[in-house]
Structure 1
Amino acid sequence: MKTFSKSLLALTTLTLSAQMLAAPVSAAPRSTDNGTSYTYNMNAASTAQTATIQNSVNMRDAASTSGKVIRKLTQGETVSVLEKTNANWYQVKDSQGNVGFVSANSNYIKVNGASNPSTGSSNSVNTNNSNNDDKQPISSSVEGVIKTGMSYLGTPYEFGSNRSNTQTFDCSDFVRHIFKQSAGVTLPADSRQQGSYVKDKGTAKNSISQLKRGDLMFFMSYKGSKASSYAGVNKNTERITHVGVYLGDGQVLHTYSVDSGGVRVDTVTGKAWEHRFLFGGSVI
């Protein structure tokens, strides 16, 4: 009888231990630097898919372009996808252990494998941001233009380039060519006329945060690297001297000098480009 009781007690202990190990584990809600809170589901992490970064993109502490930048993920880098937060954002973990959010746009990230991570119901993320460029609808024609533009990365810069070939580009020639080649849209020949074209369409926006992917961006002349260099400047009367294509996430596709290497992608926000920005808008 004593032997039977000991066996029963051991069996009960093993059963309870197994139940405790099988119970789902989740962390308490975390608070980010900008006040956004979310719950990190530990079970989701254990089955995370991997993804490859297609082009440099910011990892942010919130699923919003207003979120603080944790670091910039570089092309070819592999990350773990913890969850597809919504249609526009993935929550990912990099090789350094940083957890953050990146744009779900295929121009920036490609999930490895046939299936995409499902949107989790356990995560509560504040994505209330009326100026979130990643929330804007992106047409296939815009993506075609950007894909065409990216195919010319590294093409040499030449001021007053020959409009009849693609051996070299200046800023307005590059923009004009990729829109015509991909979308069949014929833009004016120079950047100032292209700016007028956007204004005539009624799509001009004065804030970078209002721009959509594929919009044109117009800039004034360089006056210095600091914001103070542009203090007191009346942007309504400044002359357009440069144009590029907005990629979203604070980046521009353009070409501007021989020394810079020709067609390239640059970060606008936090740089002199941001201070030089006049307005932007859609042409499609």
Structure 2
Amino acid sequence: MKKRMATATLTAALLFSSLSVPAALAAQTTQAAEVQSSVNMRTSPSTSASIIRSLKKGEQITVMDKVNSYWYKVADSSGKQGYISTSSQYIELQASVPAQDGNAVALSSVSFRKAASTSGERIRYLKKGEQVTIVAKTNSYWYEVKDGNGVRGYVSTDSSYLKVTGTIPGGNTGGNTGGNGGGTVTNPDVSKDKQVEKIIAAGMKYLGTPYEYSSDRNTTTTFDCSDFVRQAFLDGVSLKLPADSRQQGQYVKDKGSITTNWKQLKRGDIVFFMSYKGTKASAYNGIDKSKATITHDGIYLGDGKVLHTYSKEGGGVTVSSIEGTHWEYRILFGGSAL
């Protein structure tokens, strides 16, 4: 009798322990994971569903939900969502860390990178309102931070991206939202010239990337004009501009320093254009450019050159000369977004 009771007790204990792990996992809303070998991310949990793209070995992703025994719903570092196999051959779940209050909060979407550099591989974007823990201030430009899943990476120290809400190891504290006193962490200004060069370098690496009208803002496989400008600023200095050229134009105007004379533009300025009317200057006579609609923009390189993308026929991201071309006649204004 005692033997049967002991056996029943052991069986119940084993059954409970086997159920407790999935229950704990089910309670988590998201979990970090690493791709172990190339695997297809699909539009729905089925092998017959369309392939969004192939995830690469070593890629960091977020598991959002376990749909069933065979499929996870995941998000890649750009935020694109899809479904992949649950097989451990393809994905390894990383140890989850209970959510913490942290000592900082993201004020806007910002790149979370593997290295303290704008060329460092992006793990993902931190979302506005996301709580993180600043582990250390690496230098004047970068924090080492830990997200709610325990994943470590680097984020810009620019105060427009992170608000420090607690103590940072090393003695810095947060809590103030303005002024120069108290515990506000202030960062030395990065030279504007250095920022400009970072933006241009980020844009130049996309030379030849195909043009696509109304391109997907979550990928870098194709660009339209404003998507390209936005990505160059995002990659270069972690500045997230508005999504379209008209909003970008207003953003630059709000900065308070624009010019309608392209020869007064500075390297790194964003330059805005009206619609194409023809190749001759006379085609634009009589147009009130102060009321014309922005239809295109690009990054001014200096020496009468603009870095931009405007059509498939134009070869995607390219460098064009302004003077004596329709680009000169179409210019509305330009200015700095920094």
State whether structure 2 residue 247 is matched by structure 1 residue 180: no
The residue that corresponds to 1:259 in the other structure is 313
State whether structure 2 residue 254 is matched by structure 1 residue 209: no
The residue that corresponds to 1:230 in the other structure is 284
Counterpart of 1:266, as a letter, is S
3-state SS, counterpart of residue 141 of structure 1: helix
CA contact (8 A) 1:149 1:178 kept: yes
The Cα shift of 1:173 comes to 0.3
Counterpart of 1:237, as a letter, is K
- TM alignment of 1:89-100, pairs within 5 A: none
Counterpart of 2:302, as a letter, is G
The residue that corresponds to 1:168 in the other structure is 222
Distance 1:186 1:164 in 2: 13
- TM alignment of 1:9-20, pairs within 5 A: none
Unaligned 5+ runs, structure 2: 1-190
Over residues 109-145 of structure 1, what are the superposed CA-to-partner deviations in whole Å (9 max), with x where a residue is unaligned?
Answer: xxxxxxxxxxxxxxxxxxxxxxxxxxxx961110011
Distance 1:203 1:176 in 2: 19
CA contact (8 A) 1:219 1:278 kept: yes
Bigger RCO (CA 8 Å, 6+ sep): 1
Counterpart of 2:275, as a letter, is S
State whether structure 2 residue 294 is matched by structure 1 residue 243: no
The residue that corresponds to 1:142 in the other structure is 196
The residue that corresponds to 1:190 in the other structure is 244
CA contact (8 A) 1:138 1:213 kept: no
Distance 1:138 1:186 in 2: 16
Distance 1:178 1:141 in 2: 11
Over residues 35-85 of structure 1, what are the superposed CA-to-partner deviations in whole Å (9 max), with x where a residue is unaligned?
Answer: xxxxxxxxxxxxxxxxxxxxxxxxxxxxxxxxxxxxxxxxxxxxxxxxxxx
RMSD between aligned residues: 1.1
Over residues 192-234 of structure 1, what are the superposed CA-to-partner deviations in whole Å (9 max), with x where a residue is unaligned?
Answer: 0000001111021111111100000000000011111001100
CA contact (8 A) 1:252 1:266 kept: yes
State whether structure 2 residue 335 is matched by structure 1 residue 281: yes
Counterpart of 1:200, as a letter, is D
3-state SS, counterpart of residue 216 of structure 2: coil
3-state SS, counterpart of residue 173 of structure 1: helix
- TM-score, reference length from structure 1: 0.51
3-state SS, counterpart of residue 258 of structure 2: coil
The Cα shift of 1:255 comes to 0.1
- TM alignment of 1:45-194, pairs within 5 A: 139-194=193-248
- TM-score, reference length from structure 2: 0.43
Distance 2:192 2:240 in 1: 20
Distance 1:215 1:151 in 2: 18
Unaligned 5+ runs, structure 1: 1-136
Hey, which of these two has a bigger chunk of strand by percent? 2
Runs of 4+ in 1 over 6 A off after TM superposition: none
Matched residues, number? 148
Over residues 21-45 of structure 1, what are the superposed CA-to-partner deviations in whole Å (9 max), with x where a residue is unaligned?
Answer: xxxxxxxxxxxxxxxxxxxxxxxxx
3-state SS, counterpart of residue 225 of structure 1: coil
Distance 1:231 1:260 in 2: 26
